[in-house]
Every structure is written in structure tokens, then in C-alpha cells.
Structure 1
Amino acid sequence: MNRKDFIKISSVFAASALVPFASAFASQVSLRVGLIGAHGMGWANLNAILKNTNVRCTALCDVDENVLERRAAELSERGIKVKKFVSHKDMLAEDVVDVVIIATPDHWHCLQLVDAVKAGKHVYLEKPIGNSVQECDVMVKAVDDSASIVQVGQWQRSQQHFRDAIDFVHSGKLGKIRTVKAWSYVDWKKTIEKKPDTAVPEGVHYDLWLGPATKRPFNPNRFHFEFRWFWDYAGGLMTDWGVHMLDYALLGMKVSDPVSVMASGGKYADPNGASETPDTMSVVYEFEDFSIQWEHAIGIGLGPYNRNHGVAFIGDNGTLILNRNGWEVIPEKGKMEAVALQKPKDNGLDVHMQNFVRAITKKDRGMVNAPIQVGAHIAVFCQMGNIAYRAGEKLYWDRAKRKFTDRKANNYLLAKYHNGYKIPRV
């Protein structure tokens, strides 16, 4: 992404309107939504979109029939009858949905998004959008070549206090910003003890869960929520939380591509644990006259400024600290006035879903607050951090060629598909 592309995407952030939930939606054409991946965040996404009065759930899809039956029963208790599917392809082949929510493990996102837009469906896609730079590029082209409206699940793009904070950063009151810090400390997550492989649980279609990932025996450590900590399926906290906080670091600084990236870290909390991704990690993205620093830790909750997650813009006059609980400004002595904590006044996920539904009803893909280009760019940016960590080198990014100057590091840009799956051609 070059500066022109970044400004174009940023204009979406700046110009899109936040409109309250309105009963007027009831007069619009009803939208049928289907959920692919109903165990965790997908369920939250479904319940958020159903708050829009012109949306009804008509289908559920999950490779774990235990989850599928449980969620279908919960919806039935609310008077919502759905058709159930194990394969997303079967769901897309039938005329039962207009919109799909994709909330599966990261390694499935590319295939399912491409299938959905080729089937003419609108898509709400969980972040990070892909598990490799190559997949992100494919997904952007697939959406561009379609008529589908796609919203990425970076719901902070729709929450007002995040927007207000960035407006303050852009006002110049902080003075020259030399460093931006972003972080995620998760004390609620413990390290994973190694467990033996087991038989596939009854009702789980494990081959469909693996999809393009390396064929391995079933292990509970890799299933459901825990997939995040294994390179086959995801990128650890770097991609899971980095796409949220680093997205705002880039927005605040009005930049896109770094000059270089370097990283260090490891499995310091539990070297013998089952996870593959680092439980402790620091990344430095170098730009022309400032740096962006990322850090994360599992099992620790006291992050910078006594916050477990956030982004801090450190200027000559003061520091603005922003996270999901609000934003404030701590001044340098005698250089500016403090700004007390500005707490959120809306529900980011609800407003994000409303923005998505409104874009569909207006048939205007330019209205979404987090289009596929936004999701792809920040996913790639976070992948850079992981690649620097895995390569063990300071890497220099060639913006024009969209790759590193280090040839070995570029191997990590590519998707590695197995079990007969191939990266989609678009």
C-alpha cells in the first residue's frame, strides 16, 4: 500500500457516518444471514447483527456438530429456526442466505471469503483477514472483482471515542510524535500444557476443520479457541490483537509501510509449553522520523501505563493513551493541558454491524468503516512483525515490490496449502 492508497482508505474512516439504530430499517428488504463458525466470536457477531431489524438468521454452519446443535437450539428458544450445515460450500450452494459471517480459524478465511463473494454473498469477515500476505492479496482482488460488500471485524473503526482520539492526535496539540507504542497483555490467558493426541471427538469433522493446514493427528490444544497459538492456523497475539491496536497507530500517524522491522521474543513464560507462537514479544517498525513499537505478553496484565491493551502517541508536549476503555492525555510538565479520561458512549461491535447492514441496504460498498483493503493492510503489517521474529533478522521492506529485500524472509509471505487445497485464483 502506498501513501495514496492509505489516504483513500483513511478517508473512509473519516467520512463514514455513525447513524443510530433506526426502526426505519424495518421497511427495508429483509436480509438473510448465515454464520460460518459459531463457537466464539462468531456467535457474538451474529447476535450483534440481529439487533438490526431487517436482518434474520436463516443458517448456521460449523464443522463441530456439537457446537452446531447447541447454537441452533439456543436460536430455536428465541423463535429463530435455521438450516444447519457442516460444509460452508453446501450452505453457499443453496439459496438460504444473502449475508455470511465468517468467524472460523484464520487459515480458512481466504478460501471461505473467495467462495462467498463468488456466490454473490455479502460478507462480515473476522480479523485478521488471512494467515499470510499472499492470502491477503488474493482476498482484496476477489472482493474488488465482485459486487459484494465486505466488512472486516475491526469494530473499533466504528466506535466514536477511537475516532475522537485520532482527531486529537491529528490536531497537532501533542507536538512532534517520535514514538508510538501499542500493546496487548493478557493475564487471563495461561500457557498451554502439552497434551497427548487423541481420537477425534464425536461430531467433529476434523478433516474439514484442518482444511488447507498441515495434516496432523487431533490434539485438543489446537482446537477451537487455542488454534491462535499455532503457526498452521494463525499468528498468535501479534495478529490477534495487533490488528486492533496497530491499526490505530497507523491511522494516528497517517502512514502505511515501514522502512524496516525487527523483532525479539520467545516462549519465556513456559519454554516447554505446547504453543508455537511467542508468549512474549517486542517489535520495532522503523519509519523515516519515528518508530512504532509493539509488545505483548501472555500471563501478565500490567502493560504500559497500567493498561492491559492500548496505543500511546508520545509527543513532545504530551502523551495520548487510547484503548477500549477510553482515551486521555497526560501532559509534559508545563507544555499543554491534561485531558481527563474520555469514556466510550457506544457499543463498538453493535455500531460496526449497523454500519455494515446500512451499506448493504444502501448498496454502497464505500460506506463500510473497515473495508477489505483496511483489513488486508493491517494483517500484512502484523505479519511483518511475525516474519521478522521467525527470520531472526532486521528486515527491510520494498514498498514498490511488496516484499522484503531478504529473499529467505520472503518465503514467509506465501501461503502453504495442503490436503489437495490450493490458493484461490482470482
Structure 2
Amino acid sequence: MENKELRDKRREFLKSSALLAGGVLLNQFAFAGGHTSVDDTIKIALIGCGDRGTGAAFQALSTKQNIKLVAMADAFQDRMDQSYKVLAAKFKDKVDVPQERRFVGFDAYQKAIALADVVLLVTPPGFRPMHFEEAVKQGKHVFMEKPVAVDAPGIRKVLATAAIAKQKKLNVIVGLQRRYQTNYIEGLKRIQDGAIGDIVGGQVYWNSGGVWVNKRQPNQTEMEYQMRNWYYFNWLCGDHIVEQHVHNIDVANWVKGSYPVSVQGTGSRAWRTGKDYGEIYDNHAVELTYADGAVIYSQCRHYEGTQNRVDETFQGTKGRTYLSANNTAILWDHKGNEIFNHPTKGNANPYQTEHDELFAAIAKREYKFADAERAAKSCFTAIIGRYATYSGQIIQWDEALKAENSLMPEQLSWNTNPKVLPDANGLYPVPMPGRTKVF
């Protein structure tokens, strides 16, 4: 049973999280970021022009504010061209990105960031720590997609940069959009007020059939192949427990009002075993153990032809709750009587809400959002889940955060090899529990 001190800390944490999610003003500090008037055009730069990056720009340009896309950056010319074509056709006067402001290459992000007030960081997540660092260094407000890093060194960099962003009073929103989704906000308000008592357990899921594959093309370097298939390489993606399942793990941390002290679990490649699937697992099942002894079970898998499930459920000392991204939030008491049921219709799109709230704050010269630290810690929860499944060991949070082994290549160029390479048969090494050392 949770003691009074831990319970009070949990409830205080949850209340502050809800304030952040709801957009309540944190501080009326002097505003930073180079935007000088409510009537000014807010200039944005898109860093990462894939499908999700194009979607993020679409949402930014769909807000009510006076916004203009003025710069774009991507490693690939074709992704840049396609994204520009889509955005220019839809938004016309809001897209002002002549050829000289479309930057291609590994260093393209620096040039694009310099031209904007707000940057959208939507590359594969392995690049996120250095892109976030550069954006904050240049004094820019930030929207960045989850996850924010793929290894412990990356998490430490994001945490350090988050502290600087707070000092500079730069708004930062991270694309863990359940934090901006009405049913989650309303459900969590009631949980934090004790409607179902102290949370003693729970289960969170992201089970689906998996994602896309891009076939290897003639004359591709290994670097280009892995970047075109970034989802299957840990230096770029972190495995799907980090890239996808972080959403549900973040909800677990939100509900608990804390982060786990240790993680253990199991995983493997059972279905997606061929050379097209790089080095990652297709299933993970982990237990997140919190300081008060509560254990939340976390499961994600990529199996075709099996049950899909993406949701969260939690048990408390006075009842239970069920939450999901389809706008469901239901609470029951310990006898099974329904005590709250959020309407599933008429809810705003949380992907759009993130941008609506960010750009409204910037236009009003308000400092309201500081998501990066919280998001980094939820991402790290997922990372230590991967450490646990790959190694077969119990992973302690504090020890894992000290890990020095970076997954990033020593250099970034098209002729540089990543650290993980295929064998003569085109197969990549796969982690083996009991043998693999994760740090």
C-alpha cells in the first residue's frame, strides 16, 4: 500500500501534468524566441520531410495563427520535393520556401533552424537530441515528435537541453498527443483526485500488424538503406517499444505520477524474422516496477493476423479505469459501478490541438509548455524496456541512465557505415537475451 507521502507526491505530480497538458500558463516571464508582436508572422521551419513531418507542418499551418513555412530540411531530396509539393498545393500563401531555403543533407537542419521562430523536429528519432540541442541553442520554440532519443546518452542530452529551454523560456511541445487529448485529460483529473484510489497495477498495450518496409535498391550505400528503413534499426528508431509503444508507457507514468525504478521483461523475433526487418524485435513484454511497489505490465508486438490492441487499463484500491485513443475514458468503482464515462463524440483531434495550443501561446507571447523533460523520462522508460528484453536482465533506472554506449555512427555521411551491419546473407545481428550486453 502506498504511504501518505508517496500518495501526496503522486497526486501533486498528476496535477502538474494535467496543467501542462491543458495548457495552463506556467509563468508570465518575459518572452523569448524572436517573435515581437501578436500581429507578426510566425516563421516555421520543417526538419524532416517524411509523411509524419509533412503531417506536422499541415497541422501547424492549419492553426488560426499567422504562420508561414519559410524553410525545410531533409537528408533526402525526393522526400523534400514531395513534401513541398503537398504543402504548397494545400496552403499556397502560407508556404514560402524557394529553392534556396530547401536544404538537403546531414547538416541541413542547422541552416533551416536559423531562418525560423519555431521549428518542427520530425526526423527519425535518433537525430532528435542533436536537432533539439541546436534549436534551443539558436533560441527557437520547438514542436518535436516522440520519441526524443533512442539511448541513454541521447536522453541525457535531451534532459540537459530541456533545462536550457526552460531558462530561455522557450515553448516545447512533444508529440505524445494523449497529453492533449480530452478523454485522457478528463480521466486523469478524476484519477488524480482519487476516484479509484491508489494505483496498484495496470496493463498497457500496442499490438498491431507492423509497419512499412522499403526494399533495398541497387547502388544504395548501407547508410542510405538504413535511413530509408529507419524503423528497423535501433540507432534511428529505438525499436518499436520506443518508437510506438512509448505512447502507452507515457500514460502509465502519467497515471502513476512517477517513473519506474526498475524494468524486467522478455521479447524476441517470432514473426518478422527476415532480412527486411533489420535488427529489432517484433514483440516485447515488460513489467514496470515503481517505487511504491506497484507493477504495470506493458506489451507490444508486430504480428500480422492477430488481435490488434492499443489501449491502457489500470487498477486502484477503490476501482479501475479503461483508456484508449478512440476517445474512451471509463472509470468504475470497486463493485463495478460506472462512475465516469467520457463522451466519445465531439472531441478535438489531439494532433491538431498540440499545434493549436503551441502557436496560440507563441502569438500571445506566453511561456506555457515545457514537455521535454517529462517526455524524455517516458522515452527512457521505453528504452530501458528494450534494454531489459534484449539482455534478459532486470534493469535499474539509475544505472541505465549512466550508460555511455551511444548507438549513433561515429560520423554522418552517405559513405559512413552504421555500427550494425548485415552478414554475407544480408541478415543483421539480433540481440540474444543472456548474451547481449546493452551497457
For the superposition of Structure 1 and Structure 2, which TM-score range results when normalised by the shorter chain?
Answer: 0.7 to 0.9
Residue 351 (structure 1) shift: 1.0
Residue 249 (structure 1) shift: 1.1
* Correspondence for 2:96: 81
- Structure 2 Cα separation of the partners of residues 175 and 302 of structure 1: 34
- Structure 2 Cα separation of the partners of residues 255 and 71 of structure 1: 39
Residue 419 (structure 1) shift: 3.7
2:130 is the alignment partner of 1:128: no
The SS at the match of 2:393 is: coil
Q: Could you say if the C-alpha distance between residues 167 and 149 of structure 1 is closer, same or farther in structure 2, counting changes exceeding 3 Å? A: closer
Q: Could you say if the C-alpha distance between residues 417 and 16 of structure 1 is closer, same or farther in structure 2, counting changes exceeding 3 Å? A: closer
Which residue type is aligned with residue 371 of structure 1? Answer: D
Deviates more, 1:326-335 or 1:150-159: 326-335
List aligned pairs for 1:261-280, cutoff 5 A: 261-275=263-277, 276-280=279-283
- Structure 1 Cα separation of the partners of residues 318 and 305 of structure 2: 28
- Structure 1 Cα separation of the partners of residues 203 and 303 of structure 2: 20
* Correspondence for 1:13: 18
Residue 90 (structure 1) shift: 4.8
List aligned pairs for 1:8-407, cutoff 5 A: 11-14=16-19, 17=22, 27-52=38-63, 53-77=65-89, 78-79=91-92, 80-82=95-97, 83-87=101-105, 89-90=107-108, 92-93=110-111, 96-146=115-165, 147=168, 148-187=170-209, 189=211, 198-200=218-220, 216=222, 218-219=224-225, 222-224=226-228, 226-256=229-259, 258-275=260-277, 276-287=279-290, 288-300=292-304, 308-315=309-316, 318-329=319-330, 331=332, 334-337=335-338, 339-340=340-341, 342-343=343-344, 345-365=347-367, 367-368=368-369, 371-397=371-397, 402-404=398-400
Given that 2:202 and 2:297 are in contact with CA atoms closer than 8 Å, whether structure 1 keeps it comes out as: yes
What TM-score results when the alignment is normalised by the length of structure 2? 0.77
- Structure 2 Cα separation of the partners of residues 152 and 271 of structure 1: 32
Given that 1:49 and 1:353 are in contact with CA atoms closer than 8 Å, whether structure 2 keeps it comes out as: yes
Given that 1:317 and 1:335 are in contact with CA atoms closer than 8 Å, whether structure 2 keeps it comes out as: no
Which residue type is aligned with residue 406 of structure 2? Answer: A
What's the CA shift string for 1:200-251, capped at 9, x where partnerless? 3xxxxx7xxxxxxxxx3543xx344x41221221222211222211111111
Gap regions ≥5 residues in structure 1: 20-25, 201-205, 207-215, 422-426
What TM-score results when the alignment is normalised by the length of structure 1? 0.79
Residue 348 (structure 1) shift: 0.3
Q: Percent identity?
A: 19
Q: Could you say if the C-alpha distance between residues 132 and 403 of structure 1 is closer, same or farther in structure 2, counting changes exceeding 3 Å? A: same
Q: Could you say if the C-alpha distance between residues 186 and 106 of structure 1 is closer, same or farther in structure 2, counting changes exceeding 3 Å? A: same
Given that 2:74 and 2:103 are in contact with CA atoms closer than 8 Å, whether structure 1 keeps it comes out as: yes
Residue 378 (structure 1) shift: 0.6
Residue 339 (structure 1) shift: 4.4
What's the CA shift string for 1:140-190, capped at 9, x where partnerless? 222422423322111221121110111232243334533211110112637
Given that 1:182 and 1:292 are in contact with CA atoms closer than 8 Å, whether structure 2 keeps it comes out as: yes
Given that 2:311 and 2:323 are in contact with CA atoms closer than 8 Å, whether structure 1 keeps it comes out as: yes
Which residue type is aligned with residue 84 of structure 1? Answer: R
- Structure 2 Cα separation of the partners of residues 278 and 16 of structure 1: 32
Q: Could you say if the C-alpha distance between residues 341 and 164 of structure 1 is closer, same or farther in structure 2, counting changes exceeding 3 Å? A: closer
